[in-house]
Structure 1
């Protein structure tokens, strides 16, 4: 079973979709037989991805190669009144769901090719060992989500002009993520659990360009195994639309992403659940230098970070037509860059 199909099935289980009720727990029959039963996809108590490999009741199973990212054990469930013994594999880290799906697909392929469940499990894990490692701190899910947010905004602008990559200033560590003339756009992303809350990391981040205006684009990206949004996919869209592929690659690398197809940057998938744009003006809740006496940050205050509840900024939310017009104005600034 291809990894993509497995992920779709696991995602369906997470949504409470159709599943076989013949087994004690919700599961999906893959149709792949081991001689002791059919391989099944299931979920852990917290929604973790699981692969159940039927083995003989009398089969001796040596010590299983579990890790911080992967739990492997033996479980017995009743199927139509008959106890079935399973080699039970569970992915413990959601960020590795994509890798686990690949591992599961390879195990099933090896079983179809004649390997026993235990042998298929052991050899596949040995081959994938280097990938089944908890991701380090070098690339966090927040960084992945943040890059995707800016790429989504860039894709929108490139649909209007293939040279719009020149407006992308975030990778260059400028104040705003997109800037042209007197117009700027700052991009923020939120998760499903933080729908109405964004974090501002500098006192000038919500300060418009001198004499100009600023909009805030907020993308709600929910992490899901079956999501259709990833760094690789959106980067591919952007590279196809851009007038200069190498310049875009250079900008993407500015965020430390030197390979947009790498597993490191694509270990999470997302679904775009919502998108809102706001005009950042005097009505918008923010902290800027003018918020302090004499318009300057107090001496000794070196960093300011704060959260904004977007529920208090509804009066600043822009209509779709206004957003389209604003993006067109921003792209028109390319004539003067």
Structure 2
């Protein structure tokens, strides 16, 4: 990865010293993929950019391109050899080091598809950019202790889904929490919301809205309760991510989509030394949310109440565990 970004940075530096007054000045990079990637600057702004070429037929004229803190994506008004060029450009106030890491990661996401299918490569390109968009929105800093626990819990449920036979492609695409999903996993007409604790006693779930446990238009709906202990023999967050990645290696597209979600959730491999806590699973339960489940939603609060955050003590409800296999069968996922 270092050699790749070094090549791109060298190209950026050469362009900076070149003569130019307006328009794009670009240099081809990655000679093993001739004509597909170019490092560039758009004069007179001179901000660094990566230009990626895709066949004209795979990009819709109405495609909405992501724009985030420190970067933007635009269509370059130039076609060559049947390619449309998309430019990922650093904003003037964008951090160059972070942008360089982003560019390197995105190029690898495209190359790792190994397909030569431009539509799949475009999906990988835009998917990884949107993940970086969300990562930057979260501050591009290591996860808080609470968010680290939350991500471990979601990954645990994902791991268990794979263990009981859910198709990896479906499981990864169902994981919507990192991508602004109302609930952590959206499965068909239903969903699973995951709540995780490392507390030595009790299991209190923080509910973020009146909609989160409302099954009016989302049924069946399950709350996954995950209890962990912090031990010396447990698994760190980076180790858990690596273990799941190993299961997905045979499907580069699904692996790329998993990486997108992990990044969007706020995890970057660059921050892995920060995550030294080790988690040992104590209990996991799937609780079906129904009429008698303790919850607040728009249908059972007084008129005038339009939003709420509240907490539920799940400990007395753990005996009602239906198990993940039953939950996924009810959701028609296995």
Tell me the TM-score normalized by structure 1.
0.51
Which of residues 165, 181, 202 is equivalent to 1:195? 202
Q: Does 1:290 align with 2:299?
A: yes
Computed over aligned residues only, the root mean square deviation of the Cα atoms, in angstroms, reads 2.5
Deviations along 1:173-228, whole A, 9 cap, x unmatched? 1111111211210101012335231111111111126152101111111122x132
Distance 1:240 1:181, change over 3 A: same
Structure 2 Cα separation of the partners of residues 202 and 145 of structure 1: 20
Structure 2 Cα separation of the partners of residues 158 and 277 of structure 1: 16
Unmatched segments (≥5 aa) in structure 2:
1-140
Tell me if the contact between 2:227 and 2:283 (Cα under 8 Å) persists in the aligned partners.
yes
Structure 2 Cα separation of the partners of residues 261 and 238 of structure 1: 18
Deviations along 1:251-288, whole A, 9 cap, x unmatched? 00111112187112x22111111112101111111111
What are the equivalent positions in structure 2 for 1:149-160 lying under 5 Å apart? 149-159=153-163, 160=165
In the TM superposition, what is the alpha-carbon distance from 1:240 to its structure 2 partner? 2.0
What are the equivalent positions in structure 2 for 1:220-259 lying under 5 Å apart? 220-224=227-231, 226-242=232-248, 243=251, 244-259=254-269
Aligned length: 188
Which of residues 318, 321, 324 is equivalent to 1:318? 321
In the TM superposition, what is the alpha-carbon distance from 1:249 to its structure 2 partner? 0.5
Which residue pairs with 1:279 in the alignment?
288
Q: Does 1:166 align with 2:169?
A: no
> Secondary structure of 2:146's partner?
helix
Tell me if the contact between 2:288 and 2:322 (Cα under 8 Å) persists in the aligned partners.
no
Structure 2 Cα separation of the partners of residues 214 and 260 of structure 1: 36
Distance 1:328 1:235, change over 3 A: farther
Tell me the TM-score normalized by structure 2.
0.51
Which of residues 186, 195, 199 is equivalent to 1:179? 186
Larger radius of gyration: 1
Distance 1:328 1:236, change over 3 A: farther
> Secondary structure of 1:289's partner?
coil
> Secondary structure of 1:227's partner?
strand
Tell me if the contact between 1:155 and 1:237 (Cα under 8 Å) persists in the aligned partners.
no
Tell me if the contact between 1:184 and 1:208 (Cα under 8 Å) persists in the aligned partners.
no
Structure 1 Cα separation of the partners of residues 201 and 327 of structure 2: 26
Unmatched segments (≥5 aa) in structure 1:
1-136
Tell me if the contact between 1:232 and 1:260 (Cα under 8 Å) persists in the aligned partners.
no
Which residue pairs with 1:270 in the alignment?
279
